[in-house]
Amino acid sequence: MKNIDSRGHVRGESIYVDDMPVREGTLHAAVFGAPYAHGHIKRLDVSAAQRAPGVFTVLTAADIPGENQIGGIIPDEPLLAEDAFHFNGQPIAVVLADSEDQARAALEHIELEYEKLPVITDPREARAKGELLHPPRTFQLGDVDTAWAACSHVFSGRADSGGQEHLYLEAQGAYAHQVENGGVRVYSSTQGPTAVQRTAAKVLGVPMHLVEVDVTRLGGGFGGKEDQATPWAVMAALGALVTGRAVKVVLHRLDDMRMTGKRHPYSSDFKIGLDKDLKIVAYEASFHQDAGAAADLSPAVLERTLFHCTNSYFVPNVKTTAYPCRTNVPPNTAFRGFGGPQGMFVIEAAICHAAEQLGVRPEQIQKANLLSEGDSFPYGQKTVGCLAQRAWGQTEEQYGYAALLGKRDTFNAANRFRKKGIAMQPICFGISFTKTHMNQAAALVHIYSDGSIGVSTGAVEMGQGVNTKMLQVAAGIFSVSADRLKIETTNTTRVANTSPTAASASADLNGKALEKACDCLRDRLLEQAARELGRADTAGLSLKDNAVWADGAATDLSWERLVMSAYLNRISLSQQAHYATPGLHFDTNTEKGEPFAYHVYGTALYEVTLDIIRGTYAFDAVHVVHDFGQSMNPIIDLGQTEGGLVQGMGWMTMEDLLYDKEGRLMSNALSTYKIPDIYAVPKQMDVTFIDTEGAPLAILKSKAVGEPPLMYGMGAYFAIRDAIRAWRDTKAMAFHAPMTPERALLGLYPDFADEPVVDQEVASG
């Protein structure tokens, strides 16, 4: 089944926030952001802006009736800065005017006097100065301190990975208007409708039941709208409440890039010890997370870095510590993988480093250490249905790893200025929110008297196809054709207290809740069918092909007649259900537990050709063997795999997010920030579905697919590095992603670097 949105998308008919017809008198917002990264506000004067043409009013912190607080995990972030600002672009005031142009023009008339304060953009500097969001956390398994003695080889080094701009096609936006009784309705492009509702209620000083949040769909979120859609929605709600008019806040791309947080850059140190058979005996790492200027989701992201610090490998002795470092850049936030990729990159770098020093191929170490059934992760959970070795083995065999290696060597011997590199990239990703309480969802199903069905869940459609999957769940249980179903907008008055659509878990969580609601309705309808058909009970009855079947044959009781009969007999045709993933627990004191419903595995094999003169590269092919369980929708799951993989390649190769030393975003537009286009996509992409049992906690045994493939992107970095290795030894080359052509050149010709290659910070200017 195709994504049910695809027709609307290609015809331009799908509705996003900015497409909604506006109400009469709608005001348009422009946000005034801090002009510098850190300062004390001495004077803020918006009176001239108030008088500018078309301006209705200018909101500042003084207009907030409730709490000026949008922080979720830690209450450390105001909606509008009051005494101080902590990052360049931090919202200070919101101009509301008749048109967007007028609102933007009025920004020029806002007067701000401030005293500059020191700016920190380096997480290591932040740690040294004690700028931590909370104390560091450590995950431990075995005993590293004694394990080093048992190692034949011990290596240490440093690995850095850059940030990543979400670049969802639809920028952040919301539209709000007042309803009676002091309430407000907010249409928001958010992954977290309940987060918007909760925060708007807090800021407006009203109970949550006065705030209704409605989401049709997002033009992409990728984590960037899990928490950071909230401020714009709350500004719209505040504006609506203060002015009595409808208010629209839609960010311009440049403001979106400047004002919102991104994937967290990490700077990490590692130490790895191996025995003579290349088994990893011990692994230690410290992760410096660049959290940005406020907590946002950073503590949860940090946790997932620790959960995934050993990727797909079994390491008996582990000690990893993570530092959430406060800097003066926009608060960094969720991004596909949620800290997992950053943790995994470090152990991949450690393995690659060890291989380079020992003169073996990294794949030898990777393969020797893949997880087996029953192995422990550093947090105590053991693997169940572990596919790490199977995926690796199948990749090697099916795509001819050994032959490709031979091809690489032959090509490299024959070509002086072009070199081929290859890399294998195994992944392992845990499915569930790491905060156990978030693993719950609800659904509400109405069957209308004509047999059509309306489905509401807490899931938000952002291109990942969750609405299509929800439709498949309900249509499957009722055995009715898809056109009888409508997936409703995600609305806080229909489904309350939702977790954000995140952690790749929304199809599982919402699908299971929906399954419960539909099962309940089906049972009730079958009881009515038994009465209609004059049978003692429902034994032998089922729903199939828009009708009731008895003992394997169709009856003349159609779906429509059954529903009408239930209605006439005053049987409820509506059902709500709630689902909570069973068996999850985690103790943050011991840092042990079973936080994940299951794990997703897979392996990618990359082939790249590097231009030795220019540092440019092209990916010849990527071959993937991925664990989908029993995919309920191979078209969508293939799209998620290819899209995630390419997005991961972007993070690892070309997306170079740069702030200058004053915390000003340098890569602030699409002219300076490059994401993969069709030319950057590997010329050949193969994805093999491993058909497996699936996991009982996966919806219809179809494993979560949203985030895991992103981590295949790491292989792109290591494949290019392998091509550099064919030109010169890389023993001293820093592990610094992204591997832009510039960094590839510095790897090829380290003598030309005018700065130490280990510290590749680009200067401001």
Binding site for ligand MOS (CB under 6 A): 191, 221, 223, 226, 334-336, 338, 502-503, 707
| Residue 304 interacting entry, from ligand MOS, ligand GUN, ligand MTE, none, C-beta within 5 to 8 Å by type | ligand GUN
Q: Does 309 bind ligand GUN (CB under 6 A)?
A: no
- Please report whether residue 304 would count as binding ligand GUN according to CB under 6 A: yes
- What three-state secondary structure class fits 188? strand
**Of 49, 371, 507, 657, which lies in the binding site for ligand MTE, with binding defined by CB under 6 A?**
507
Least Cα distance to 287 among 428, 502, 139 occurs for 139
Nearer to ligand MTE, 267 or 640 (CB): 640
Q: Which is nearer to ligand GUN, 340 or 629 (CB)?
A: 340
The whole-angstrom separation of Cα 381 and Cα 356 is 32
**Partner whose footprint covers residue 433, from ligand MTE, ligand MOS, ligand GUN, none (CB < 5 to 8 Å by kind):** ligand GUN
- The answer to whether 681 and 650 have CB atoms below 8 angstroms apart is no
The alpha carbon dihedral of 58, 62, 63, 69 has a sign of positive
Q: How far is the CB of 712 from ligand GUN (least distance, A)?
A: 17
Give the range of 251-259, 388-396, 461-469, 747-755 binding ligand MTE by CB under 6 A.
461-469
From 707, 716, 725, 744, residue interacting with ligand MTE (rule: CB under 6 A) = 707
Please tell me whether residue 711 binds ligand MTE under the rule CB under 6 A. Answer: no
CB 188 within 8 A of CB 233: yes
Among ligand GUN, ligand MOS, ligand MTE, none, what does residue 396 contact (CB within 5–8 Å per kind)? none
Q: Does 434 bind ligand GUN (CB under 6 A)?
A: yes
Interacting residues with ligand GUN between 475 and 534 (CB under 6 A): 502-503
DSSP 8-class letter at 23: P
Q: Under rule CB under 6 A, which residues in 10-29 are in contact with ligand MTE?
A: none
Out of 32, 175, 314, 338, the only residue in the binding site for ligand GUN (CB under 6 A) is 338
- Choosing from 707, 742, 755, 761, the catalytic residue is 707
SS3 string of 711-730?
Answer: HHHHHHHHHHHHHHHCCCCC
Q: Interface with ligand GUN by CB under 6 A: which range of 296-304, 371-379, 651-659, 745-753?
A: 296-304
Please tell me what DSSP assigns to residue 436: G
CA-only gyration radius of the chain, Å: 27
* Residue 640 contact, options ligand MTE, ligand GUN, ligand MOS, none, Cβ 5-8 Å cut-off depending on partner type: ligand MTE
Does the footprint of ligand MTE cover residue 222 (CB under 6 A)? yes
Q: Is 403 helix (H, G, I), strand (E, B) or coil?
A: helix
Residue 602 corresponds to which tokens in the numbers above? 């897979």
The single residue listed with the structure tokens 């952690």 is 503
Torsion angles phi and psi, residue 419, rounded to 5: -130, 140
Q: Which of 311, 464, 492, 528 binds ligand MTE (CB under 6 A)?
A: 464
* Candidates 297-305, 543-551, 556-564, 642-650; binding stretch for ligand GUN (CB under 6 A): 297-305
Q: Is 371 in the site for ligand GUN (CB under 6 A)?
A: no
Q: Which residues contact 212 (CB under 8 A, 6 or more apart)?
A: 179, 183, 184, 185, 186, 197, 491, 492, 493
Instruction: Please state whether beta strands 247-250 and 27-33 pair in parallel, antiparallel, or not at all (unpaired).
Output: parallel
Contact call for residue 650 and ligand MTE (CB under 6 A):
no
Cβ of 752: how many Cβ atoms within 10 Å? 9
Short-list 187, 186, 212, 189, CA closest to 462:
189
CA nearest to 132, candidates 370, 345, 325: 325
Nearer to ligand GUN, 151 or 697 (CB): 697
Q: Does 462 bind ligand MTE (CB under 6 A)?
A: yes
Nearer to ligand MTE by C-beta: 462 or 480? 462
What's the min distance (Å) between Cβ of 704 and ligand MTE?
6
Report the nearest approach of ligand MOS to the CB of residue 432 (Å): 11
The closest of 101, 339, 73 to 192, measured between CA atoms, is 73
The answer to whether residue 693 is catalytic is no
Structure tokens at 529: 């069918």
Among residues 492 and 501, whose Cβ is nearest to ligand MTE? 501
Q: Which helix (H) or strand (E) holds 747?
A: helix 741-748
Adjacency order of strands within the sheet including 111-116: 84-85, 39-45, 111-116
Nearer to ligand GUN, 194 or 434 (CB): 434
Site for ligand MTE in 621-640 (CB under 6 A): 640
Cα–Cα dist 63/50, whole Å? 14
Residue among 110, 278, 300, 716 that touches ligand GUN (CB under 6 A): 300
- Indicate the residue whose CB is closest to ligand GUN: 338
- Residue 397 Cα to chain centre, angstroms: 32
Binding of residue 504 to ligand MTE (CB under 6 A): yes
Asked if 466 is part of the footprint of ligand MTE (rule: CB under 6 A), the reply reads: yes
Q: Are 55 and 103 in contact (CB under 8 A)?
A: yes
Question: Length of the chain in residues, anyone?
Answer: 765
For the CB of residue 220, give the shortest distance to ligand MTE in the complex, in Å. 4
End-to-end CA distance of the chain: 51
CB of 10 to ligand MOS, least distance (A): 25
Question: Shortest gap between Cβ of 301 and ligand MTE (angstroms)?
Answer: 12
* Least distance from ligand GUN to the Cβ atom of residue 191, Å: 9
Q: Which does 507 bind (CB under 5 to 8 A by kind): ligand MOS, ligand MTE, ligand GUN, none?
A: ligand MTE
Q: How many CB atoms lie within 10 A of CB 135?
A: 8
Q: Which of 158, 245, 326, 336 binds ligand MTE (CB under 6 A)?
A: 336
Residues 550-609 that bind ligand GUN (CB under 6 A): none
* Alpha-carbon span 142 to 144, nearest angstrom: 7
The CA-atom distances, in angstroms, between 623 and each of 108, 451, 603, 628, 694 are 52, 45, 8, 15, 22
C-alpha distances (whole Å) from 189 to each of 169, 175, 228, 300 are: 12, 9, 10, 22
SS3 label, residue 639: helix
**Please, which residue, 280 or 697, has the CB nearer to ligand MOS?**
697
What would the two tokens of residue 419 be? 């070199």
Give contact residues for ligand GUN (rule: CB under 6 A). 226, 297, 300, 304, 334, 338, 433-434, 502-503
Binding-site ranges for ligand MTE (CB under 6 A): 220-223, 336, 462-464, 466, 501-507, 640, 643, 704, 706-707
Please identify every residue annotated as catalytic. 707
